[in-house]
């Protein structure tokens, strides 16, 4: 007798609309686990703005320790209007990424059937690429300081950290991914070598060097300013884009828009041989919280990405197919409050499309 495959999923529903979208994602997870035959144990963690306001805690060491023992982490959203910007983001979201060394932020930009895109004359054939964002260094490292703060002579420094190790592992991941994808076998480095002549020279050199091990992959380069232009004008030229933390943050919000908005965009914070975390990339959307109008599809796509990462390919595909059915034949639009269905109804539609 073989034991069923089983996973411990740490769930951080978080702030704002996080809990409502995560609830639907977990319903889908449960349904697909029964259908394809694996066990999931869901362990909820109460982290976020409310906890911080009550106790002053962001991510207690004991919780961090627990997260390290999970099969994967499923995150809703972090961000609270009552808490100064930076505290929860740095104290929870970035802390998990850094402490668990989730050095890749993987963000597919894929237009599903039936989904409206603001790009004229572009469809699912043209909008289907993936962004590999470095996720543990760059300007996000939090190194810097101020001098003469609050005076007219104030100096503020924020250091862009690029290490050989960090850059190389990110580029290697991107090359491997490009090799595995059944697509153009083209990897585009997005940087700014014409201005960041130290940091991005490192990226460019390592890109070329590691690329020698992948002769079947076409190496492509674009400055970030030009790249955002191409993302709008000719998204079909891209297969995999690899970039640093800050550029990746910015270009993936543009990516989310061309794939139909934050209602559908999901990503993974990946530690290849460790604990990864999956999330809808939109924020906590406080103005929609508790109203049952937010789109849960991004959170459901995040479940599909999580399953894929856990090696449950069949389940991952089943969830993605179910989402495609729902976008193709049910939802009027993907926008909050305009879907023609409530948050939980959208979750139910995906669950029924599974069977
Ligand atoms: C994201 C978010 C975060 C980031 C914020 C909330 C710190 O925008 O996941 O893209 O900048 O990485
Ligand atoms: Mn962002």
Which ligand is nearest to the Cα of residue 140, counting in written order? 1
Which atom of ligand 1 lies nearest, measured to the CA of 90?
7
Of 347, 334, 294, 278, which Cα lies nearest the Cα of 112?
Answer: 334
The pLDDT tens digits of the residues spanning 209-259 come to 999 999 999 999 999 999 999 999 999 999 999 999 999 999 999 999 999
Ligand 1 pocket test: which of 75, 80, 92, 93 has the largest number of ligand atoms within 8 Å of its C-beta? 93
191 touches 203 (CB < 8 A)? yes
Closest C-alpha to 241, from 350, 355, 104, 354: 104
Name 181's Cβ contacts closer than 8 Å, sequence gap at least 6. Answer: 130, 239, 240
Token pair 């963000």 is at which residue?
107
d(CA 293, CA 99): 34
Task: Find, among 91, 82, 78, 97, the residue nearest to 19 by Cα.
Answer: 78
Rounded to whole angstroms, how far apart are CA atoms 24 and 14? 14
pLDDT at 204: 98
Q: Whose CA is nearest to atom 12 of ligand 1?
A: 249
Going from the Cα of 148 to the center of ligand 2, the distance in angstroms, rounded, reads 30
pLDDT at 2: 64
Q: From ligand 1's centre to the CA of 241, what distance in Å?
A: 18
At 135 the pLDDT is 98
Measured in Å, residue 249 CA sits from the centre of ligand 1 at 6
pLDDT tens track, the chain, 355 positions: 566 799 999 999 999 999 999 999 999 999 999 999 999 999 999 999 999 999 999 999 999 999 999 999 999 999 999 999 999 999 999 999 999 999 999 999 999 999 999 999 999 999 999 999 999 999 999 999 999 999 999 999 999 999 999 999 999 999 999 999 999 999 999 999 999 999 999 999 999 999 999 999 999 999 999 999 999 999 999 999 999 999 999 999 999 999 999 999 999 999 999 999 999 998 899 999 999 999 999 999 999 999 999 999 999 999 999 999 999 999 999 999 999 999 999 999 999 999 8
* Cβ within 8 Å of residue 7, ≥6 positions away: 38, 39, 40, 41, 71, 72, 310
- Closest atom of ligand 1 relative to the 93 alpha carbon: 7
Q: Which residues contact 324 (CB under 8 A, 6 or more apart)?
A: 112, 113
19 Cα: distance to centroid of ligand 2 (angstroms): 19
| pLDDT reported for residue 3 | 66
Name the nearest CA neighbour of 322 among 342, 306, 304: 304
Closest Cα to atom 11 of ligand 1: 249
Instruction: To the nearest 10°, report the CA torsion of 224, 227, 228, 231.
Output: -150
Look at residue 108 in the predicted model and tell me its pLDDT: 98
What spacing in Å lies between the alpha carbon of 281 and ligand 2's midpoint? 7
**Which residues are near ligand 1 (CB < 6 Å)?**
89, 93-94, 249, 281
CA dist 2 and 15 (Å) reads 40
Provide the 3-class DSSP secondary structure of residue 123. coil
Closest approach atom of ligand 1 to CA 135: 12
What integer pLDDT is reported at residue 270 of this predicted model? Answer: 98
Ligand index nearest the alpha carbon of residue 87? 1
Distance 282 CA to ligand 2 centre (A): 8
Give the residue whose CA is nearest to atom 8 of ligand 1.
249
Q: For residue 202, what are its two tokens?
A: 């490192």
What are the Cα distances from residue 315, in Å, to 29, 158, 307, 312, 330?
9, 43, 7, 5, 22
* 220 within 8 A of 188, measured Cβ to Cβ: yes
Q: How far is Cα of residue 66 from the mean position of the Cα atoms in its chain?
A: 22
> Rounded to the nearest whole angstrom, what is the distance from the C-alpha of residue 85 to the centroid of ligand 2?
13
């Amino acid at each position: 007798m073989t034991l069923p495959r089983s996973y411990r999923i740490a769930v951080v529903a978080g702030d704002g609309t996080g809990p409502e979208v995560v609830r639907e994602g977990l319903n889908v997870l449960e349904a697909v686990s029964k259908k394809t035959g694996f066990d999931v144990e869901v362990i909820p963690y109460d982290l976020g703005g409310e906890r911080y306001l009550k106790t002053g805690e962001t991510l207690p060491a004991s919780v961090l320790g627990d997260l390290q023992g999970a099969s994967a982490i499923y995150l809703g959203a972090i961000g609270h209007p009552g808490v100064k910007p930076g505290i929860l983001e740095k104290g929870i979201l970035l802390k998990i990424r850094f402490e668990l060394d989730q050095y890749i932020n993987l963000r597919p930009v894929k237009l599903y059937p039936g989904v409206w895109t603001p790009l004229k004359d572009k469809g699912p054939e043209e909008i289907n690429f993936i962004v590999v964002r470095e996720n543990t260094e760059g300007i996000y490292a939090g190194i810097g300081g101020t001098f003469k703060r609050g005076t007219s002579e104030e100096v503020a420094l924020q250091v862009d950290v690029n290490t050989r190790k960090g850059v190389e592992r990110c580029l290697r991941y991107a090359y491997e991914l490009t090799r595995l994808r059944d697509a153009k076998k083209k990897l585009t480095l997005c940087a700014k070598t014409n201005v960041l002549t130290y940091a991005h020279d490192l990226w460019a050199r390592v890109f070329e060097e590691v690329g020698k091990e992948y002769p079947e992959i076409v190496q492509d380069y674009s400055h970030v300013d030009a790249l955002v232009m191409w993302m709008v004008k000719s998204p079909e030229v891209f297969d995999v884009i690899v970039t640093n933390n800050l550029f990746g943050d910015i270009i993936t919000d543009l990516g989310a828009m061309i794939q139909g908005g934050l209602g559908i965009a999901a990503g993974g914070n990946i530690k290849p041989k460790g604990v990864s975390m999956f999330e809808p990339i939109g924020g906590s959307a406080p103005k929609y919280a508790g109203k049952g109008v937010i789109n849960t599809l991004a959170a459901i796509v995040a479940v599909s990405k999580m399953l894929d990462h856990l090696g449950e390919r069949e389940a991952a595909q089943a969830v993605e197919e179910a989402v495609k059915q729902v976008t193709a034949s049910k939802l009027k639009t993907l926008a909050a409050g305009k879907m023609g269905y409530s948050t939980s109804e959208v979750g139910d539609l995906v669950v029924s499309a599974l069977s």
